[in-house]
A and B are shown apart, each in its own frame.
Chain A
Amino acid sequence: DTEVTQTPKHLVMGMTNKKSLKCEQHMGHRAMYWYKQKAKKPPELMFVYSYEKLSINESVPSRFSPECPNSSLLNLHLHALQPEDSALYLCASSQDDGTANSPLHFGNGTRLTVT
């Protein structure tokens, strides 16, 4: 079992809905990440949090809004998404300060479908 827990596992939402993805880790890691993965493609970095502060935003559209309430939790708020945003959203954490020098530990993702 993965030590990074993501909920929900599956989510179907309409383009006018607002929803949130949640991620939790209890490994004491200081950095947390959001990645997006389309079918048969590699993961694409979206956001990096280091010590609960946003350190990297890979020019992600504002319809994706990350939040890090504390060192163990990471949320991704979704609003007015497009069908092309349908993908597997992966959360990860690492022991370093967001530089990814140490291995990333991934959750099993949330499979998002936008209708």
Chain B
Amino acid sequence: EDQVTQSPEALRLQEGESSSLNCSYTVSGLRGLFWYRQDPGKGPEFLFTLYSAGEEKEKERLKATLTKKESFLHITAPKPEDSATYLCAALGGSTLGRLYFGRGTQLTVWP
């Protein structure tokens, strides 16, 4: 079954405490792995796309990596404004245009 699993469901970090979010996927024929950030009451905001194992992307305090089974979103020295839900989505399977979203990791960074 094509699916995406994110862990942990929730993560609380102190400001400056680095950590990683995990996204495991079992989507056949992966064509892309996307990370989004979603603030309460808002739509998801695109962060990164990864297309092949070994690929890495960075943006400010965030770094995304991809292996053949999972992706990680590393957060270095987070700030309170990084608090949000981080969604991972895999593109693949038999239906073109269908993204398989994980349930997200709710990140809270406290001062």
Contact = CB atoms under 8 A, between A and B. Distances in A.
Contacts, number: 68
Interface in B87-105: 87, 89, 91, 95-99, 101-104
Given A42-B87, A43-B44, A109-B42, A99 B99 contact: no
Contacts of A34: none
Contact of A108 (B34, B42, B46, B95): B42
Interface residues of B, number: 23
A58 B103 CA distance: 19
Interface string B30-50: 011010100001111110010
B43 A108 contact: yes
Nearest to B96: A99
A31 B49 contact: no
Contact of A100 (B36, B42, B99, B102): B99
B7 to A, nearest CB: 14
A106 B47 CA distance: 12
Contact of B31 (A2, A45, A101, A103): A101
B97 A100 contact: yes
Interface string A81-106: 00000001010100000111111111
A41 B98 contact: no
Interface of A: 2, 4, 31, 33, 40-45, 48, 50, 55-56, 58, 88, 90, 92, 98-109, 111
Rank and list the top 8 A-B pairs by shortest CB-CB distance, nearest first.
Answer: A106-B43, A42-B101, A103-B46, A99-B96, A48-B97, A108-B43, A100-B97, A98-B97
